[in-house]
């Protein structure tokens, strides 16, 4: 389907009837990183199912709610639960949430995800600030007729993970008990985890971590001119790094374990942006 601006505007107009302020920062929370959402003061919660033209989360560890409110005195909107291509959504559909945030007036986007470590120096529980990404799989979410209202047909992605925000994130990491890195995220479509051979190939290509989300949202944000920060919580060593099978349980448990410290760190970022 070819979307029009009005299509996205219908979602934003509905949300404006529920919320009487303009959020400055839009946050997308990855698997089990929900505790940040619980720190939002005076929350206004809107179920995705109630928003016209929005998508529905089908993954158990994703809540499926937009939460508006304040964090450290800043107005935020937080997507507690995101959408992935492995749920059956097309890349084209995956532009919807970020475009709605843009129409709501958000000025900065922070994307978070759970990821597997390809870099052998990383450990579960570490955090990676995305410097760049590799996406060899799948289309661009910006494929199809271009909506000039959002951005140009051809757009630069050489600074898509905003350098100033990356610097801020690394500076603030010094105050966090967590271990931080800056690195390259490689997108795999899932839902299967990668094969050990795919992980060896990813390492050869320069990837530090792998995951099944984030790049569609990142490309959509950059296309419409939104400054962007993306953070991976390392939940496991990627396939074949250790001599053991991967499981969703391991990913969820690792994310849950650091979600408190990660949420504290996120608050310092929102306060400083
Ligand atoms: N691969 C892909 N996605 C992931 C992983 C992984 O190892 N861990 C958490 N999300």
| Ligand 1 near 34 CB (within 6 A) | no
Q: What percent of the chain has pLDDT above 70?
A: 97
| Ligand 1 near 198 CB (within 6 A) | no
Residue 103 CA to ligand 1 centre (angstroms): 31
How many Å apart are CA 183 and CA 128, to the nearest integer?
A: 6
Substitution candidate for ligand 1 out of 30, 115, 197 with most atoms within 8 A of CB: 115
| Ligand 1 near 115 CB (within 6 A) | yes
Beta strands 74-80 and 209-211, pairing class = unpaired
pTM of the model: 0.95
Token pair recorded at residue 138: 């799948």
How much is the pLDDT for 152? 96
User: What is the average per-residue pLDDT within 92-116?
Assistant: 96
How many Å apart are CA 224 and CA 206, to the nearest integer?
A: 27
Instruction: Quickly tell me which residue has 């690195």 as its tokens.
Output: 183
How much is the pLDDT for 61? 62
What atom of ligand 1 comes closest to residue 236's alpha carbon? 8
What is the residue-wise DSSP string for 235-255? Answer: EEEPTTTSSS---HHHHHHHH
pLDDT at 260 > cutoff 80? yes
Substitution candidate for ligand 1 out of 238, 252, 258 with most atoms within 8 A of CB: 238
What atom of ligand 1 comes closest to residue 194's alpha carbon? 1
How many Å apart are CA 27 and CA 31, to the nearest integer?
A: 13
| Ligand 1 near 212 CB (within 6 A) | yes
Q: Give the Cβ contact number of residue 153 at 10 Å.
A: 10
User: What is the average per-residue pLDDT within 1-5?
Assistant: 78
Q: pLDDT tier at 150 (50, 70, 90 boundaries)? A: very high
The protein residue whose alpha carbon is closest to atom 9 in ligand 1 is 115
How many Å apart are CA 156 and CA 176, to the nearest integer?
A: 32
What single DSSP character describes residue 93? G
| Ligand 1 near 210 CB (within 6 A) | yes
How many Å apart are CA 126 and CA 75, to the nearest integer?
A: 28
The answer, yes or no, to whether the previous bond of 191 is cis (omega within 30 of 0) is yes
Is 249 or 134 the better-scoring residue by pLDDT? 134
Is 68 or 61 the better-scoring residue by pLDDT? 68
Q: pLDDT tier at 56 (50, 70, 90 boundaries)? A: confident
| Ligand 1 near 235 CB (within 6 A) | yes
How many Å apart are CA 30 and CA 268, to the nearest integer?
A: 18
Beta strands 65-71 and 74-80, pairing class = antiparallel
| Ligand 1 near 118 CB (within 6 A) | no
User: What is the average per-residue pLDDT within 228-256?
Assistant: 91
| Ligand 1 near 217 CB (within 6 A) | no
User: What is the average per-residue pLDDT within 86-91?
Assistant: 91
What is the average pLDDT score of the chain? Answer: 93
Instruction: Quickly tell me which residue has 């759970």 as its tokens.
Output: 114
| Ligand 1 near 63 CB (within 6 A) | no
How much is the pLDDT for 1? 65
pLDDT at 57 > cutoff 80? no
Q: pLDDT tier at 62 (50, 70, 90 boundaries)? A: low
Substitution candidate for ligand 1 out of 134, 194, 237 with most atoms within 8 A of CB: 194
pLDDT at 191 > cutoff 90? yes
The model's pLDDT over 198-234, given as tens digits with 9 standing for 90+, comes to 999 999 999 999 999 999 999 999 999 999 999 999 9
User: What is the average per-residue pLDDT within 176-191?
Assistant: 97
How many Å apart are CA 46 and CA 140, to the nearest integer?
A: 29
The protein residue whose alpha carbon is closest to atom 6 in ligand 1 is 116
How many Å apart are CA 234 and CA 262, to the nearest integer?
A: 11
User: What is the average per-residue pLDDT within 24-34?
Assistant: 86
| Ligand 1 near 187 CB (within 6 A) | no
What is the residue-wise DSSP string for 18-62? Answer: H--S--SEEEEE-TT-THHHHT-EEEEEEEGGGSTT-----STT-
How many Å apart are CA 135 and CA 133, to the nearest integer?
A: 7
How many Å apart are CA 171 and CA 148, to the nearest integer?
A: 36
């Amino acid at each position: 389907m070819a979307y029009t601006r009005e299509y996205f505007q219908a979602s934003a107009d509905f949300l404006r009837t529920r919320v009487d302020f303009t959020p400055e920062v839009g946050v997308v929370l990855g698997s089990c990183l929900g505790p940040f959402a619980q720190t939002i003061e005076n929350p206004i919660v809107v179920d995705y199912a109630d928003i016209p033209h929005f998508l529905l989360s089908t993954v158990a560890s994703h809540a499926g709610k937009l939460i508006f409110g304040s964090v450290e005195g800043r107005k935020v909107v937080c997507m507690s639960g995101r959408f992935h291509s492995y749920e059956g959504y097309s890349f084209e559909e995956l532009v919807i949430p970020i475009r709605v945030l843009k129409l709501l007036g958000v000025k900065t986007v922070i994307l978070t995800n759970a990821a597997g470590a390809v870099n052998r120096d990383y450990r579960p529980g570490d955090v990676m600030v995305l410097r760049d990404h590799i996406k060899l799989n799948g289309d661009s979410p910006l494929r199809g007729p271009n909506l000039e209202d959002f951005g140009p047909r051809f757009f630069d992605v050489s600074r898509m993970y905003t350098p100033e925000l990356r610097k801020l994130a690394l500076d603030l990491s010094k105050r966090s008990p967590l271990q931080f890195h800056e690195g390259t995220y490689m997108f795999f479509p899932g839902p299967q985890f990668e094969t050990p051979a795919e992980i060896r190939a990813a390492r050869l290509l320069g990837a530090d971590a792998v995951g099944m989300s984030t790049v569609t949202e990142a490309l959509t944000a950059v296309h419409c001119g939104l400054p962007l920060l993306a953070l991976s919580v390392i939940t496991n060593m990627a396939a074949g790094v250790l001599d053991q099978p991967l499981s969703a349980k391991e990913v969820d448990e690792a994310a849950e374990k650091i979600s408190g410290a990660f949420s504290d760190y996120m608050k310092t970022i929102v306060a400083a942006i």
